[in-house]
Structure 1
Amino acid sequence: MKCRKAKIMSASLRQLRFVCAVADEGSFLRAAEAMNISQSSILAAVEAAEADLGARLFERRRARGVVITPAGERYLIAARQLLVAEQDFNHRVKGLNDRHGPLRIGCFEPFGAMFMVEVLGRLRARLGAITVELFEADQPRLKRFLDRGEIDLALAYDLGPDFEGAITEICRAPPHAMVPLSSPLALQPSVSIEDLARQPLVLLSQPVTVTYLLTLFDYASQRPEVSFKSRSYSTVIRAVGAGFGCTVLNLRPPRPLEVETGCLRLPIDEGLPGPKLIAVDRYGDRKPRLLRAFIEELCGYFGTRAPEVLAAE
């Protein structure tokens, strides 16, 4: 009796990226938009992978996108492992350890304008010309970027999705209040969470962050009424200055923005929990030279700042 030979898979790395994109985005259309290619190319890649595997990777649901099958789950685990290996190969072989870049950094959206440009400017002053690609996104998207190898490092809070990789703790960011100068609270040296709960709330409505901020009011007898929501950090500050209400934030905004918009930062009396600012990469102890230099610059930037300046301990 002859033994059957195992079928050799013929999937290309490009095909694997397309299949992973469908799983990440939940539909062929959104995957095509994310990868900036035609929907037919995405569909062809998935169908080729299914034919190669001999099983459905996704259950198609009209007008509701796709749902991954058990076989698809196993396929994706292997596909992602291979793509990470490809990323490691490219970094080791194609000279991405060069001191001039490119440096691909993903950061929580508010960080871009808040301090990233200044930190990267200091790095440039120390090393000379560098090439930077900055990806500003919410934390769930940052995790996807890192998992797919689209960025070298993610800078985020240790909230929400569990980042996988080497984690460098930068600093802790305890919460503080921002109140309009027109508010009676602005006459106080500090505020309690009860004080804030009685005021309209201007809310930074980023995924994960919004849950954390609202949970802080569990320390009060009531939750405030949300009067204004925005994903933009600077818009939240300006809404506070315009009198829409108060807000709770972590890292302090740049001083010009605070002064220009008629806001006042106040400490919160209670020792409320604050997240840590973390840098996550997938290189472990073999970080590219430029990435190591960036992390050193970032740690130095926060290490020389007093808590009252950045509200980070």
Structure 2
Amino acid sequence: MELRHLRYFVAVAEELSFTRAAARLRMAQPPLSQQIAKLEAEIGIRLLDRTSRSVQLTPAGSALLDEARRLLARADEVRRVAQNVGTDRGGALRIGCVASGFSGVLLHLLPGFRTHHPEVLPLVYEMEAAPQCHALIRGDIDIGFSRVSQQIPGVRVIPILSEPLMAALPAGHPLAERRRVPLVRLAGEAFVMFPRNAAPDAFDTITSACAAAGFSPDIAYEASNDHALISMVACGLGISIVPESTSNMTLPGIVYRHLARPAPTTSMAIALPAADPAPQALQMLRLAQDSYAGRA
């Protein structure tokens, strides 16, 4: 299977028209039809239902479309990395980061990193804590930013920043009128949280804080990432407890309130492969330690 065949297929699948796809690809329509037919023959299954008036994806075509987009994006990334290395620009730094890190540490660190190391190409992937650790061990990423507090075999964990937890509330919630929310007032509320297997440290930090306040959170919904979590809260499905950096992510219908003192805290840590971390990853670690000195 050739990448160009996947590019042709994605164009037809997105346009649902061989004519429009051919114009987009700047090629004639008959060769495009032949290449799609060749791809179907190679795979051994029909990807498109064609009539004289319409083109529709088959179930197999719909499944292939998502995978083809991912493969093409990865191919483009490989090309960019190769070009970066080939022009002596210092290679790439593959970064895994939890969503709250995008609105927190990376928001502050990446501009400075690019200023100090313009020869390095940052490639950033949103990942929760557990997938990050697996990716570091496999060598799929060079550095991770997540809320991991314990050392993990094959991974070196370095805390860099401690930040308070906050209440995330629907805008019309009665507690939204308060400047600070006592944690115990969240007892009996429907919670939106991450599943423990995706973010064990974040889950345990929140449930332990609730236990110290005398209750166990009623987890009504689980979210796959921060964007889904705050969207559920904004829709009024429940409340949540989030790191302060998450409050930089705003949506209509959601408000953030500090928890009453002493507020529980959560830590952001950098994770590196235990053996032979990439030089670019060590550069990022040093920048983070300098930027957040004394705040871990």
How much does 1:283 deviate?
Answer: 6.3
Could you say which residue in structure 2 is the equivalent of 1:53?
none
CA contact (8 A) 1:193 1:219 kept: no
Which deviates further from its counterpart, 156-165 or 215-224? 156-165
CA contact (8 A) 1:170 1:298 kept: yes
SS at match of 2:164: coil
The question of 1:233 aligning with 2:226 is answered: yes
The count of corresponding residues between Structure 1 and Structure 2 is: 208
The question of 1:183 aligning with 2:176 is answered: no
Q: For 1:265, which of 256, 260, 263 is the aligned residue?
A: 256
CA contact (8 A) 1:193 1:268 kept: yes
How much does 1:158 deviate?
Answer: 2.6
CA distance in 2, matches of 1:202, 1:271: 23
Q: For 2:199, which of 184, 204, 207 is the aligned residue?
A: 207
Could you state the TM-score of these two structures normalised by the residue count of structure 1?
A: 0.56
User: What do the CA deviations read for 1:137-176 (whole angstroms, capped 9, x no partner)?
Assistant: 2222222222233322222223466354544321113321
SS at match of 2:255: strand
The question of 1:123 aligning with 2:113 is answered: yes
How much does 1:213 deviate?
Answer: 2.3
SS at match of 1:150: coil
User: What do the CA deviations read for 1:20-47 (whole angstroms, capped 9, x no partner)?
Assistant: xxxxxxxxxxxxxxxxxxxxxxxxxxxx
CA distance in 2, matches of 1:247, 1:193: 11
The question of 1:220 aligning with 2:210 is answered: no
SS at match of 1:249: strand
Q: For 2:164, which of 147, 166, 174 is the aligned residue?
A: 174
SS at match of 1:104: strand
| Amino acid of the structure 1 residue aligned with 2:265 | G
How much does 1:247 deviate?
Answer: 0.8
| Amino acid of the structure 2 residue aligned with 1:232 | N
Could you say which residue in structure 1 is the equivalent of 2:74?
none
Could you say which residue in structure 2 is the equivalent of 1:154?
144
Could you say which residue in structure 2 is the equivalent of 1:248?
241
Could you say which residue in structure 1 is the equivalent of 2:122?
132
Could you say which residue in structure 1 is the equivalent of 2:48?
none
Could you state the TM-score of these two structures normalised by the residue count of structure 2?
A: 0.58
CA distance in 1, matches of 2:274, 2:154: 11
| Amino acid of the structure 1 residue aligned with 2:143 | L
Q: 1:273 to 1:151 in 2, by over 3 A?
A: same
SS at match of 1:271: coil
CA distance in 2, matches of 1:120, 1:132: 8
Alignment of 1:285-296 (within 5 A): 288-296=278-286
How much does 1:292 deviate?
Answer: 3.1
Measured on the aligned residues, the alpha-carbon RMSD in Å equals 3.2
CA distance in 2, matches of 1:248, 1:111: 16
Could you say which residue in structure 2 is the equivalent of 1:281?
272
Alignment of 1:66-77 (within 5 A): none
How much does 1:289 deviate?
Answer: 4.3
**Identical residues among aligned pairs (%):** 17
Q: 1:297 to 1:261 in 2, by over 3 A?
A: farther
Q: 1:276 to 1:113 in 2, by over 3 A?
A: closer
CA distance in 2, matches of 1:236, 1:174: 18
Q: 1:240 to 1:146 in 2, by over 3 A?
A: same
CA distance in 1, matches of 2:100, 2:178: 27
CA distance in 1, matches of 2:252, 2:221: 16
Structure 2 gap segments, 5+ residues each: 1-84
